[in-house]
């Protein structure tokens, strides 16, 4: 993946939408999310207009968030996940998540990396997540959305 800043349109295209209809939906989402800080811009584009510029690392987070949104995860939970990816706190759990995220992005493991999330029914702003390598067992009555990070990240780097 090139190490340059992306506009909203370029960021959306880099997330590899499967078709034109999805690309259009994702473009609207990314614009909305950048306005409310879910997908933080690095800086404003210099010159005329109001183009926001995003880091290459934003492609990974945005690609995952878009896929979870397609699976029906509510915006409050996506915001929680975005914060976890973009600005983890110094707790042991969040440091472990950050290490897992970096390892998954490196594509170095022979096992696929998975991330599963579920909203807490009583409090829609709370998100539970499970991460792991290889097969995952989600033992709960809650509905889980699960994404194969390795597959998503590999697709992003194939260009």
Rounded to whole angstroms, the Cα distance separating 118 from 31 reads: 25
Beta strands, E only, 33-151? 43-44, 52-53, 113-120, 123-133, 145-148
- Region for residue 86 given its phi and psi (left: phi exceeds 0; alpha: psi -120 to 50; beta: otherwise): alpha
Domain ranges across the chain: 8-157
Residue 45: per-residue pLDDT: 54
Residue 38: per-residue pLDDT: 92
What is the pTM for the complete model shown?
0.88
Task: For the chain, give the longest Cα–Cα distance.
Answer: 52
Residues, the chain: 159
Residues of the chain with pLDDT under 50: none
- Tens of pLDDT, residues 47-86: 555 678 898 889 999 999 999 999 999 888 899 899 999 8
Residue 128: per-residue pLDDT: 82
């Amino acid at each position: 993946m090139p190490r340059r800043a992306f506009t909203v349109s370029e960021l959306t295209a880099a997330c590899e939408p499967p078709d034109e209809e999805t690309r259009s939906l994702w473009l609207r989402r990314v614009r909305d999310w950048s306005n409310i800080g879910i997908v933080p811009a690095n800086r404003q584009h210099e010159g005329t207009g109001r183009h926001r510029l995003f880091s290459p690392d934003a492609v990974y987070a945005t690609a995952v968030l878009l896929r979870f949104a397609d699976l029906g995860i509510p915006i409050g939970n996506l915001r929680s996940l975005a914060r976890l990816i973009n600005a983890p706190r110094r707790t042991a759990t969040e440091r472990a998540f950050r290490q897992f995220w970096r390892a998954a992005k490196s594509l170095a493991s022979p096992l696929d990396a998975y991330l599963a999330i579920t909203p807490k029914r009583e409090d829609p702003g709370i998100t539970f997540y499970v991460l792991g390598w290889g097969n995952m067992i989600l033992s709960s009555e809650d509905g889980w959305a699960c994404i194969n990070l390795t597959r998503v990240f590999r697709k992003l780097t194939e260009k």
